[in-house]
Structure 1
Amino acid sequence: MTSTTVGGPAPAADRTDPAGPGAGDRHLVPDPDDAIGRVAAELSELYVATKHRSAQDAHFVHPELNATGWILLRTILQHAPVQASTLAHLTDLDKSVVSRQVAVLKRLGFVQARTDPDDARATDLSPTEAACHRLELLGQRVRDDYRERLADWSDTDLDALATLLGRFNRCRSGHQSA
């Protein structure tokens, strides 16, 4: 495998491990000329940035809200009314985690629970007006941040990014294909 060191490109003579293929791979990243390797590296960076951003966004919504609660609140807003079991499926979270976080969201005044009109045994979760208001404020803040960060991107580039990210998100394992 051709690769570079984590600290940057290795000199051409140092790109292969004399011990053989795979011998030192755990300390290496893919060659920058490898398209899949570049995608993987960029997605790793994006993942770290997204985790940080999610924590900041959760704190903006409420100082007691953690990133998992924030993910659930966003999902409730997108799919309301929604049952806890559906939330667990949509977010790939354990039902016990969903249950604990929904309790926190209720306590913070961001989620209301009502009996499902079609099944009295089930409970539908919906965002409260307070949640919608905080999410609207956050949404404006996020859009302003992206407008600033992407100000020099053309409409064509922005459209391509949105299209490719959408396609990538739809081809996750266990979800619909691209």
Structure 2
Amino acid sequence: MQDHPSPASASPEALAGAPGQSGDVVGEIISEFSEVIAFARSRWTRYAEDVHPELRGVGLIMLQIIVRKGPLTATGIAQMLDMDKAVVSRQIAKLRELGLVEAESAPEDRRVMLLTASTKAQTLLDGIRVKWAGAYHERFIGWTEAELEQLRFGLHRFNATADHVAPGLPSSRCTRDHTDEASAEPEPEPEPQASSSI
């Protein structure tokens, strides 16, 4: 029997160029992710409005990233989310105004501001996670523990290969050549456009 490469070992080019086989599967996965992203966006927007009318859903996403991976710089967050730094800076400024994010100078470069989440932010996100979990539990009705574990493992494996986990993005590396990181406050720049990757 002839061996066939598994999707896990196939190259991106092979996956993208295999109509009727892996290519179709990847296309379907992308479509499913699009629906998940739309669902997540609507939830984050709703929760952000509950916190403050001027806070956007992406602001809460940034806060979650800071809680999980902080301390981070605004530049590091912009790279993770593939967003214009001015957009990130405005949302960070709002999070700081609300007492959810704190900033302090990096020991190795005082011009660089490292962002960390406050205790208030952790409490806020804990409450949001309860609401979020309820929404997902409704969608997971009928799933077995094995199916949930398989999904968790697959998503973890997928996320582990993302660009944002590459060396150089953690806060300790974000200081290199970031002379524009003297402050996380927004700068007077033209109205930016957020990337469509969120």
Q: Residues of 2 paired with 1:46 and 1:61: CA distance?
A: 23
Counterparts of 2:164 and 2:78, CA distance in 1: 14
- Corresponding residue SS for 1:157: helix
Deviation at 1:104, TM superposition (A): 1.2
1:61–1:138 CA contact under 8 A, matched in 2: no
* C-alpha distance in 2 between matches for 1:77 and 1:168: 21
2:138 paired residue number: 148
Question: Is 2:97 the counterpart of 1:107?
Answer: yes
Quote the Cα distance in structure 2 between the aligned partners of 1:77 and 1:44: 25
- Contact between 1:59 and 1:65, CA under 8 Å: does it hold in 2? yes
Query: Whole-Å Cα distance in 2 between the matches of residues 137 and 126 of structure 1?
Result: 19
Percent same amino acid at aligned positions? Answer: 35
In the alignment, residue 70 of structure 2 is paired with which amino acid? A
Match of 1:38 among 28, 44, 48: 28
TM-score of the pair, normalised by structure 2: 0.63
CA change 1:111–1:59 in 2 (3 A) is: same
Distance in structure 2 (CA, Å) of the matches to 1:48 and 1:162: 19
Corresponding residue number in structure 1 for 2:39: 49
Paired amino acid for 2:103: A
Q: Distance in 1 between matches of 2:105 and 2:31?
A: 45
Deviates more, 1:161-170 or 1:90-99: 161-170
Confirm whether residue 84 of structure 1 aligns to residue 74 of structure 2: yes
Unaligned 5+ segments in structure 2 are 1-19, 167-198
Shift in alpha-carbon separation, 1:36–1:82, aligned structure 2, 3 A = closer
Unaligned runs of 5+ in 1: 1-29
Contact between 1:109 and 1:128, CA under 8 Å: does it hold in 2? Answer: yes
Which of the two has greater strand per residue? Answer: 1
Specify the structure having the higher radius of gyration (Cα): 1
Residues 1-178 of structure 1 aligned to structure 2 (within 5 Å): 34-172=24-162, 174=163
Q: Is the 8 A contact 1:61 1:135 kept in 2?
A: no
Q: Deviations over 1:7-57 (max 9, x none)?
A: xxxxxxxxxxxxxxxxxxxxxxx9xxx434432332232222222122123
Instruction: Output the amino acid matched with 2:35.
Output: E
Contact 1:84 1:125 in 2 (8 A): yes
| Partner SS, residue 143 of structure 2 | coil
CA distance in 2, matches of 1:175, 1:84: 14
User: Which residue does the alignment assign to 1:20?
Assistant: none
Q: Tell whether the 8 Å contact from 1:102 to 1:111 is kept in structure 2 after alignment.
A: yes
Q: Partner letter of residue 91 of structure 2?
A: Q
**C-alpha separation in 2, matches of 1:103 and 1:131:** 14
Which stretch shifts more, 140-149 or 127-136? 140-149
Structure 1 position 93, deviation (Å): 1.4
Higher relative contact order (CA 8 A, sep 6+): 2
